[in-house]
């Protein structure tokens, strides 16, 4: 499961990546420049040493010429030139020794220095020593001793040094070629990474910011248009998700508020209309009942008496319906008093025991023996529980059982009424939506008003409690009525 990040975290992350790319580019560029400078410096050093070796070789053979001029031509300036070239060669050897790096170069320069000192010692003896009288002796010295004793060794040492430097030049050239080839490639990597990051950033902005924000705007316009049931998709960055959730919660609260307002307005309308209707019904209804009661005489035909009794019963039923409707619509004002709830329920159960006996339905009681003191309106509570118990009796088939329990859970008192009926019988409104059984509706009982359960709910709300119906797994329904323990 992916973890959503906030815009702040994502911005910090992308900024860090961009900074890392800049630093990496700088490091790669600096490294390439440093390597190129190192290779260039090494190449210059090697080339300089090759040049010094070539110069020293030329000075050596010039020195040999001065030796010849001194010995055979008796040139008075030859000794001075000989000494001058000796100084040049010593300086060249000193520069080679200073520039040599690594044991291989140092050994080659040392061997070159040794062979030159061997040649120098022989030639210095010839230049500054006694001159042999025989030319053949001099010729032998030049042709045999000097060449075999020094020049060949020097040439071998020179070739070794020259070969070593040539190999190093080749290595440096290859190194420079590799740097010239790989440096652009290394610098291209941050460029590709920056392009990829740019694409990812654009994708993130489109997927997690632009599109969710557009949907958020559309959804808010729909909600602002009055469709409070519309809900926004919770997606995108953390801030947008939080904003969508807040708007959804606001829409839900507005929807509940509007429903409560409509309910209040409907209640207010009914509250104002029903008393007028009830008054217009009760006056003729009382006259009809009184007339039927006056006409009812034992001397009348049984069919006529039965009709008059039906008129009286219907009038009484309409009167009960009107009274219940008025009691439901009018605001209830509780008269608080402290009493033993267990004793009140026991008295109520004794009152309704007779209809249970007539129907053959068992009334089981699970009421604690100790006092359960609470503050409530005894009349309203008895009337609400009476309606719920009678409903349970009428839902339970003959020979069945109704259980009434009283218990204390946490900080509330609960009265549960279990019946063995068919379970919750949902009625359906004209819009096809199941109707809540605690909302006033059409009753399925011959003598019912459909207001017993809503009245019990209203009583529970006056006491800051509640009423809930639950279907039982073993069959039947549980009516759970509770009030807070005060």
d(C-alpha 258, C-alpha 266), whole Å? 12
Q: What is the pTM of this model?
A: 0.40
Quick: pLDDT tens for 420-448: 988 765 443 334 333 444 544 444 454 44
According to CATH, the topology of domain 333-484 is Heat Shock Protein 90 (3.30.565)
Task: Spell out the residues 6+ positions from residue 127 whose beta carbon is closer than 8 angstroms to its own.
Answer: 67, 70, 71, 78, 79, 82
User: Secondary structure of the chain in the HEC alphabet?
Assistant: CCCCCCHHHHHHHHHHHHHHHHHHHHHHHHHHHHHHHHHHHHHHHHHHHHHHHHHHHHHHHHHHHHHHHHHHHCCCCHHHHHHHHHHHHHHHHHHHHHHCCHHHHHHHHHHHHHHHHHHHHHHHHHHHCCCCCCHHHHHHHHHHHHHHHHHHHHHHHHHHHHHHHHHHHHHHHHHHHHHHHHHHHHHHHHHHHHHHHHHHHHHHHHHHHHHHHHHHHHHHHHHHCCCCCCCCCCCCCHHHHHHHHHHHHHHHHHHHHHHHHHHHHHHHHHHHHHHHHHHHHHHHHHHHHHHHHHHCCCCCCHHHHHHHHHHHHHHHHHHHHHHHHHHHHCCCCCCCEEEEHHHHHHHHHHHCHHHHHHHCCEEEEECCCCCCEEEECHHHHHHHHHHHHHHHHHHCCCCCEEEEEEEEECCEEEEEEECCCCCCCCEECCCCCEECCCCCCCCCCCCCCCCHHHHHHHHHHHCCCEEEEEECCCCCEEEEEEEECC
Quick: pLDDT tens for 197-228: 777 777 777 777 778 778 878 888 888 887 87
Quick: pLDDT tens for 36-83: 777 777 777 778 778 888 888 788 778 777 777 776 677 777 778 878
CA 267 and chain centroid, separation:
46
Q: What's the pLDDT score for residue 328?
A: 59
Tokens of 366: 């699970």
Average pLDDT, the chain: 76
User: pLDDT tier at 243 (50, 70, 90 boundaries)?
Assistant: confident
Q: Rg (Cα) of the chain, in Å, rounded?
A: 59
What would the CATH number be for the domain defined by 7-202?
1.20.1330
User: pLDDT tier at 327 (50, 70, 90 boundaries)?
Assistant: low
Q: What's the pLDDT score for residue 450?
A: 57
d(C-alpha 214, C-alpha 232), whole Å? 11
User: pLDDT tier at 24 (50, 70, 90 boundaries)?
Assistant: confident
Quick: pLDDT tens for 281-296: 767 777 787 777 777 7
Quick: pLDDT tens for 400-415: 999 999 999 888 999 9
Residue with tokens 């652009």: 184
């Amino acid at each position: 499961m992916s973890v959503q990040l906030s815009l702040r975290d994502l911005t910090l992350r992308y900024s860090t990546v961009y900074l890392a790319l800049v630093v990496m580019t700088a490091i790669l560029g600096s490294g390439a420049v440093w390597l190129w400078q190192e290779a260039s410096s090494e190449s210059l050093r090697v080339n300089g040493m090759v040049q010094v070796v070539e110069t020293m070789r030329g000075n050596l053979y010039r020195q040999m010429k001065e030796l010849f001029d001194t010995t055979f031509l008796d040139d008075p300036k030859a000794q001075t030139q000989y000494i001058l070239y000796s100084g040049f060669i010593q300086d060249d050897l000193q520069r080679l020794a200073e520039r040599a790096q690594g044991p291989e170069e140092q050994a080659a320069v040392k061997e070159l220095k040794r062979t030159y000192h061997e040649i120098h010692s022989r030639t210095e003896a010839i230049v500054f020593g006694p001159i042999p009288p025989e030319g053949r002796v001099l010729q032998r010295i030049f042709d045999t001793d000097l060449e075999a004793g020094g020049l060949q060794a020097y040439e071998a040492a020179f070739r070794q040094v020259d070969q070593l430097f040539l190999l190093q030049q080749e290595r440096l050239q290859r190194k420079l070629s590799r740097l010239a080839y790989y440096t652009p490639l290394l610098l291209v990597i941050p460029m590709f990474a920056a392009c990829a990051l740019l694409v990812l950033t654009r994708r993130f902005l489109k997927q997690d910011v632009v599109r969710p924000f557009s949907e958020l705007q559309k959804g808010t316009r729909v909600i602002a248009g009055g469709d409070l049931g519309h809900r926004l998709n919770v997606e995108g960055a953390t801030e947008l998700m939080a904003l969508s959730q807040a708007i959804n919660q606001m829409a839900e609260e507005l929807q509940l508020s509007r429903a409560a307002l409509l309910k209040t307005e409907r209640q207010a309308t009914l509250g104002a209309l029903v008393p007028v209707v009830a008054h217009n019904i009760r006056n003729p209804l009382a006259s009809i009942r009184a007339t039927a009661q006056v006409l009812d005489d034992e001397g009348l035909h049984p069919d006529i008496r039965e009709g008059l009794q039906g008129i009286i019963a219907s009038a009484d039923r309409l009167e009960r319906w009107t009274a219940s409707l008025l009691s439901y619509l009018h605001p209830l004002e509780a008269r608080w008093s402290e009493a033993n709830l267990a004793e009140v329920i026991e008295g109520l159960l004794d009152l309704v025991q007779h209809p249970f006996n007539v129907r053959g339905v068992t009334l089981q009681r699970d009421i604690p023996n100790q006092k359960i003191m609470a503050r409530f309106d005894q009349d309203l509570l008895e009337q609400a529980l009476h309606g719920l118990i009678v409903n349970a009796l009428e839902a339970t088939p003959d020979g069945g059982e109704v259980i009434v329990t009283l218990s204390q859970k946490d900080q509330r008192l609960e009265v549960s009424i279990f019946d063995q009926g068919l379970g919750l019988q949902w009625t359906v409104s004209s819009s096809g939506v199941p109707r809540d059984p605690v909302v006033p509706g059409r009753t399925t009982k011959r003598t019912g008003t459909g207001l017993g359960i809503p009245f019990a709910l209203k009583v529970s709300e006056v006491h800051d409690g509640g009423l809930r119906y639950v279907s039982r797994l073993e069959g039947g329904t549980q009516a759970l009525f509770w009030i807070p323990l005060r």
